[in-house]
Structure 1
Amino acid sequence: MWLFSSKRFKLLKTIALLIVFIYLLYLYLPYDWLKRTKIGVQFRQWMAGDAVFYNTCHRPKYDPWNEEMLEHIDMNFNPVSNCDKTFKPFTKLENGHWSIVDEKTKCRARCQRYKGERENDIGDWMDKAGPVDCEILETVCSNETHKDMYGFLHSQIIETPLDPPKKNISGMQQFDVVVILLDSLSYTQAVRSLPSTRSFFKSHMEAIEFPYLNKVGENSRPNSVALWYGKSLESIDRSLYDEESIDEDWKHEYFCYEFKDNETHLFKEFHEHGYKTMLAEDWAEGSANWPDCVGFKNPPTDHYMRPFQYAYEKVAENITKKHLEGHLCREYHHTLFDYLEQFQNSYTDNVPKFSWFWSAHIGHDDENGFFRVDRELQQYLFKNRKKLENSFVFILGDHGLRFGDQTETTTGSFEKNNPYLGISIPKELRDSTDLLKMMEMNAKDLQTHYDTRATFLDILKYQSKSGFLETETLDIPEEKGHSLFRHQPNSTRTCRTLPIPTEYCICQFDIVEEDSTSSLAENIGKAVIDSINSKLKQGGFEDKCTVMEFEKTLSLKKFKNTFDGFYSINLKVKGESGATFKANVEAKNMFSIIIHGTIERTSIYGRTADCIKSEVHRPFCYCREQPKKVSFL
């Protein structure tokens, strides 16, 4: 008996020592070896019990009207509520002619044409009403003392010659494609703010919504690049899944400082297939140019509204620059609706059109911005319903609201990563094809902007050849997504299997709240701040930007189902900026902290970083010299 017990004791002792040895081996083996070698990865997965949890996407469920969010909502928000509703424009632009409503009023007009992304070709003033051959016309009227009292920017579509398609379109069934992108519109925000629009869109136009769309980049630029080019601007750190990280397709320097005319983008592809194309944004810089990027050397579309925005914001008369401030009941987005409607009513019905409307001013900076456009958007869809019955209509966001107090709520922190997407198809295809059925099925799964892009290409190149009857999976060469009109690959759609950076993933991981005042929380926070300061130094901005100092950890959450010690931290820095940041980190202990993915700026920084131009570094910068009045836009 004693001998048996002795052997048993030795066996247990050996097992215990082996467990301790393996654990110490895990702790002190080189991090790179554990991450990059096959044996190391297998060892980590064995220690973690294999991260099966991340092979499933637990789809989010949030109440758009929860009390936490309601504290930030003002359904009556309307910046033009006190405007002069009796105002009528003094000038008109119709059928290629400009005119003065009251002939006794002294007015003048001039053309604003495209010369470059940041330059207009400004025509001479015309004192007499008559024909004009430009799409953007500035008109100014003066009173008896010759003081300017009225300025206005008109738009129209000047039809251009039909270019022979560069691609073979024989036998293709081509429909118009209309894209209305509302910057910063999330799915649950659309539920709150656009009830009338969604009601008409879903009931009359039979649109299908995709509640689990996941953004693929932090702000508008990487998401627009995914939609327009199918490329990524951010690397994807897959450390959480014990997999190799994925480098970005385009570095910032290439995207920003080389013209993109020669790259394949949606507008070019639609044009090559015989479409007339249009792009309208309510911002002179636009998603491709801010803050110092070159964008396109030549207009990317047949009809490009950029001269309007550049005139309004930069080179028009001072009186003209004031006419969209609200006192005339005209806002920036109204001009986009005008231009879009003008484009839809141009050309003959046998000329297919691809239009892209992108409004940033409505809701980019305020949770409540979308309430006021609900009826306007519904009325636009209603007014143009006959045209839209023969169109694919996409209403979407690029991401959700990224700044403000509401983003610190549970729902708000989720919304910023969950842009809205709804799609209506041509009326004649609703009963004769399985497109609605396919969309309803795919709407239950995680989707990305790459899948939306693949859907555009499916409409353009593939479904158009078969009468939109195909439903089998299609792998489009060099594309990251799969069409929403077809069966998608059988593999489970998660942030592990799709090109979604972990820091933006809307799948609900099993997490636990940690003590935000602990030494670990402080050390992680300081490590994040050190990384921010290091980025500024590497960029050469340490002389222009203040050195960030850690103040406190706002929250620390630990990912469960992994042995590695992955955390998500929200923190605040000291000083006037009051900046807050979010990051994902791996902390094996208090002294081994590794930051994964992008460090997100979660507070508004507006123009406080205007001393530098680099978009990569602006979220981390608070300029040493601040203007007297800072506008947090």
Structure 2
Amino acid sequence: MSNLSSSGSNDSVLEPLLQQHDDDDDDENKTPLTSSRKNEDANDTWLVSPTNHCTSTSKNKPNSKTDPASVKSRYTNKNLLRHCKKPSSIGQSISSIFTRRKRAFVLLGGTFLFLFYINSMIINRNSNQMIPVTHHSTVPGMKGYLVWSDKCKMPSIDPYTAEVMQYFKREKYEPCSTSKPLTKVAFNSTTGKYNLLIIQDQVKYYTKSGGQLDCCYQVIERKTGGEKADQEVGLSECLSFRNSAQIPNTADNILVKCKSKKKQTYINGHPMMPERPEIRKRLQDWKKSNSETKKPVSVLMIGIDSISRVNLIRAMPKTAQYLYDNEWFEMSGYNKMGDNTFPNLMAILTGYNQTVAFDKCAPTKLGALDRCPFIWKSFREHGYVTAYAEDESSINTFNYLKLGFEKPPVDYYLRPFLISAEHNLVNKLKSGLIFCLGYQHSADYIYDYALELATRYRDDPFFGLFWANTFSHNDISDCSSMDDKMQDYLKQLAKRGILDRSIVIFFSDHGMRFGPTRKFLSGHLEERLPFMFIWLPPGLKNSHTEFVNALSVNKNRLTNPYDLHMTLKHILELSGRVNKSEPSQGCPKCQTLLKPVPHSRSCDDAAIEDHWCTCIPYTSIYKGSNVVTKIAKYSINYINDYVADFKNGSVADRCALLSLSEVQSAYRALHGVDASTNVTTETYRIIFITKPNYGLFEATVRYTIETENMEVTGSISRLNSYASDSSCVSDGGAKKYCSCGKSSKNRHTAARAPAG
């Protein structure tokens, strides 16, 4: 597979540092020559023997119980008499021989054809599965590493490693409908309004024989406040129209329905970005007050959930190759800082770590997210148009087990449309998520919304975040079907001139967090290393060559979401509308990516906890050692304590007390002796299974040898699916740890028992 590996990967570097043995991988399906087959071969030889052992008569038949020859015959010719047909002549014997030979040749030929077919299938499968991407993502002179310094040695991963490829299957793109939609919307720049149009050549497909089309549209209305403001929507009365209708600027989104002979034949939805007086006034006021003649650069953030840098190369090679071939700047050392989407996006949008984000932005309290200092607020306050869209409303970043926003957080907010569309349009699921929504994919609504923002406001500054979950969140293979689509969206940015005046950030939050590949060390690294690419418009590159130099250098430096937050602040400073920005609260040492990041940067410097850090080399150790067992039990006690104390013990009585079933693997990193305290600290990473729920967990624990003190870093990860296991708990904080069932009466005391 080495000839198919991406440039910059090197398995030989990973093996001594990150070695893991999987007994299942060592099994081979071998088919030895069995005794029955040997007998068949012996039978064929026996058949051409000049002595006919098949012939016997009753008068000279020996006593089968006493005659030695008969006894010998029973043992030597057992199972051979089935070949005897008692030929009446030599000709029949010869004919029988040739018949058997003919059958043998046919069987042999069929076997060769079958093996040829299987071989062809394997070749085709491999060529289909492995599409190499040409790039240079590793450190020059250090091919096996994405980052190499005295404080960070981040290994490069082979996208096509066999342990992962056994679970990967390249998928073909499938349209959501074989029919074309009957209606469309188009913005009229003269009137400043959207027109709803019936596509005339599609009318015949939606009209019953002899019938007429009766069409109407409803405005999708968001609730004005309360706990359900971000959860429920309403519909206006259905307003009839013939061939077209002008949509009032008070309508953000509409649902269209058509009937023929009183039977509904068509339903579809259309999101829009209507012209609003308050937005236009803001743009004009800032344009007048801006002392600079240059227009501020716009920001477009395009995200895909749960795709590692490596899986982008593996599953979406055309998209990846397009980025590499068209001068996008890759941050190949981009390391996540938290477990799931929420902490990583909050670090980008607010500069907060998870603890501060939950404290100051309190997503489970009504109105708290509205008061949170999101970066899009700063852009809007300084004369930008803002937009945010995310598909699969049930798992939206600010709504999954959270209350969401009481008021729309940006100027153009797609969530109300998607809630209505998911309820009214035909849904097609893939890996448990709404992949198709009516006539198009859920993600198409997100990226079409991005194109609409950038096209509608081509002459004005804008900031938009567009995030897709549905084709990537639950399986490493799903995103492969959207490769051509995603490449086309990136090409559309260039074709429409959007790249001429916008900074575009194409990124993910993390790699796959659960599933069969996550148990491997390559899966461990993939989860922590999402992809991130930055596009600079040509004018900015020409006027600020130092930005180009910085991004080129930072490609192989340790970077993270806090740096991206500082970069967004830096971009706002470039507008001339903002003075020097404050540092990120979650990482005071983090900085803009438009300046060189220090070469000798550690995870501690970047506020990345050990559990998420990919800079530390680990070695595999004996999983049954006393210290590993101690750490495993300590980690389980940590989980039990967390559940017992969560929200003042409000969920403890619903969750079973966990105990250790087995340790699956263990690794150790040596930090060395602290000169000030003269103690030796080691970091252990272990994967273990708990009972009674068969939960698969991964913990990273710092261990002080002299004092035997232990400390969990980051959080303990859950590697297998837990939706059904924790169905009795609705709060995300405890959900991955809770196993619903009858718990001990002394649960709280037992949970605090010391590790033994």
Q: 2:568 aligns with which of 456, 469, 476?
A: 456
Q: Which residue of 2 aligns with 1:413?
A: 524
Instruction: Report the Cα offset of residue 285 of structure 1.
Output: 4.5
* 229, 232, 255: which one aligns with 2:350: 229
| Partner of residue 538, structure 1 | 645
Instruction: Judge which range, 615-624 or 278-287, deviates more.
Output: 278-287
- Contact 1:112 1:120 (C-alpha < 8 Å) held by counterparts: yes
Please, which of 248, 263, 275 is the counterpart of residue 159 of structure 1? 275
What does 1:181-192 correspond to in 2, within 5 Å? 181-192=303-314
| Matched-pair contact (CA < 8 Å) for 1:110–1:126 | yes
Q: Distance in 1 between matches of 2:408 and 2:565?
A: 21
Task: Map residues 73-152 of structure 1 onto 2, 5 A cutoff.
Answer: 73-76=168-171, 78=173, 80=174, 84-85=177-178, 87-95=179-187, 96-101=194-199, 102=203, 104-115=212-223, 116-129=229-242, 130-133=245-248, 134-142=251-259, 144=261, 146=263, 148-152=264-268
Q: Identify if the C-alpha distance between structure 1 residues 428 and 610 changes in structure 2 by more than 3 Å, giving closer, same or farther.
A: same
- Segments of 5+ residues of structure 2 without an aligned counterpart are 1-147, 188-193, 224-228, 673-679, 743-756
Aligned letter for 1:515? Y
Q: Is the 8 A contact 1:213 1:447 kept in 2?
A: yes
Cα contact 1:224–1:287 (8 A) shared by 2: no
- CA, structure 1 residues 401+619, in 2 after alignment: closer, same or farther (shift >3 Å)? same
Residues 87-143 of structure 1: per-residue CA shift (max 9 Å, x gap): 111333333233444273344421113222112242122233523232221223446
Deviations 1:508-534 (A, max 9, x none): 32x332222344433332322222222
Q: Which whole-Å CA distance do the structure 2 matches of 1:597 and 1:499 have between them?
A: 11
Deviation at 1:445, TM superposition (A): 0.6
Distance in 2 between the 1:249 and 1:108 partners? Answer: 44
Shift of 1:183: 0.8
TM-score between the two structures when normalised by the length of structure 2 = 0.67
User: Deviation at 1:222?
Assistant: 0.5
Contact 1:107 1:127 survives alignment (8 Å): yes
**2:568, 2:247 → 1: CA distance?**
35
| Residue 447 of structure 1: aligned partner | 559
- Equivalent pair of 1:169/1:273 in contact (CA under 8 Å): no
Where 1:414 maps in the other structure, the secondary structure is helix
CA RMSD of aligned residues (A): 2.9
Contact conserved, 2:216 with 2:258, CA < 8 A, in 1?
yes
In the TM superposition, residue 565 of structure 1 has moved relative to its aligned partner by: 4.1
Q: SS of the residue aligned with 2:475?
A: coil
- Tell me the distance in 2 between the aligned counterparts of 1:153 and 1:442: 43
The sequence identity of aligned pairs, in percent, is 23
1:311 corresponding residue in structure 2: 420
Distance in 1 of aligned mates of 2:321 and 2:397? 33
For 1:598 and 1:271, how far apart are their aligned partners in 2? 35
TM value normalised by structure 1: 0.79
Indicate the SS of the match to 2:593: coil
Deviates more, 1:294-303 or 1:206-215: 294-303
Asked if the contact 1:178–1:391 (Cα under 8 Å) also holds between the matched residues in 2, the reply is yes
Task: Say which is worse superposed, 547-556 or 298-307, in terms of deviation.
Answer: 547-556
Relative to structure 1, the CA distance from residue 438 to residue 564 in structure 2 (aligned partners, 3 Å threshold; closer, same or farther) is closer
CA-to-partner distance for each residue in 1:195-215, whole Å, 9 max, x for gaps? 2223333333x1110111111
Indicate the structure whose relative CO is greater, using CA pairs within 8 Å and at least 6 residues apart: 1
The 3 A distance-change label for structure 1 pair 169 and 507 is farther
| Cα 1:606–1:442 shift into 2, 3 Å | same
Shift of 1:280: 0.7
Aligned 1:23-422 pairs, distance under 5 A: 56-76=151-171, 78=173, 80=174, 84-85=177-178, 87-95=179-187, 96-101=194-199, 102=203, 104-115=212-223, 116-129=229-242, 130-133=245-248, 134-142=251-259, 144=261, 146=263, 148-161=264-277, 162-164=280-282, 169-171=290-292, 173-204=295-326, 206-234=327-355, 248=356, 250-251=358-359, 254-257=362-365, 258-285=367-394, 287-313=396-422, 316-317=423-424, 319-321=425-427, 326=436, 330-347=440-457, 349-385=458-494, 386-422=497-533
Which residue number corresponds to residue 582 of structure 1?
698
Structure 1 residues 230-268: Cα deviation after superposition (integer angstroms, max 9, x where no partner) = 11114xxxxxxxxxxxxx464388343252223321111
Question: Match for 1:552 among 655, 659, 662?
Answer: 662
CA separation of 1:311 and 1:546: change in aligned 2, threshold 3 A: farther
Q: 1:368 to 1:605 in 2, by over 3 A?
A: same
Pair member with larger Rg: 2
Structure 1, 526-535 or 301-310: larger mean CA deviation: 526-535
CA shift for structure 1 position 389: 2.1
- Whether 1:516 aligns to 2:623 is yes
Summarize the Cα distance change of 1:179–1:112 in structure 2 as closer, same or farther, 3 Å threshold: same
One-letter amino acid of the counterpart of residue 526, structure 1: K
1:492 to 600, 608, 625: 600
Q: Which residue of 2 aligns with 1:21?
A: none
Tell me if structure 2 keeps the 8 A contact 1:113–1:122: yes
SS where residue 505 of structure 2 aligns?
Answer: strand
1:16-52 alpha-carbon deviations (Å, 9 max, x no partner): xxxxxxxxxxxxxxxxxxxxxxxxxxxxxxxxxxxxx
Amino acid corresponding to residue 371 of structure 2 in structure 1: N
Q: Secondary structure in 1 aligned to 2:607? A: coil
- 1:530-577 per-position Cα deviation (integer Å, ceiling 9, x unaligned): 2222222222213323332321101111222432343111111234x4
Residue 160 of structure 1 contacts residue 302 of structure 1 at CA under 8 Å; is this kept in 2? no
Assess, with a 3 A threshold, how the Cα gap between structure 1 residues 64 and 322 changes in structure 2: closer, same or farther: closer
* SS at structure 1 position matched to 2:403: coil
CA contact (8 A) 1:291 1:614 kept: no
Asked if 1 retains the 8 angstrom alpha-carbon contact of 2:631 and 2:710, the reply is: yes
Q: Which amino acid aligns with 1:207?
A: W
Please say if residues 362 and 369 of structure 2, whose CA atoms lie closer than 8 Å, have aligned partners that are also in contact: no
Check whether the contact 1:259–1:294 (CA below 8 A) recurs between aligned residues. Answer: no
Q: Is the 8 A contact 1:201 1:424 kept in 2?
A: no
Q: Equivalent residue of 1:422, what SS?
A: strand
1:203–1:432 Cα change, 3 Å: farther
What is the distance in 2 between the residues matched to 1:588 and 1:59?
Answer: 24
Q: What secondary structure sits across from 1:230 in the alignment?
A: coil
Specify the SS of the correspondent of 1:177. strand
Secondary structure at the counterpart of residue 199 of structure 1: helix
Matched with 1:617 is 734
| Alignment match, 1:438 | 550
Query: C-alpha displacement at 1:270, in angstroms?
Result: 0.9
Amino acid at match of 2:341: S
Task: Tell me, in whole angstroms, the C-alpha distance in 2 between the residues paired with 1:331 and 1:301.
Answer: 24
Q: 1:573-630 CA deviation, whole Å, 9 max, x = no partner?
A: 234x4321111224557986543331111112235423222211011123349xxxxx
Q: Which residue matches 1:239?
A: none
Q: Secondary structure at the match of 1:559?
A: strand
Note closer, same or farther for the CA distance 1:609–1:110 as it changes in structure 2 (3 Å cut). farther
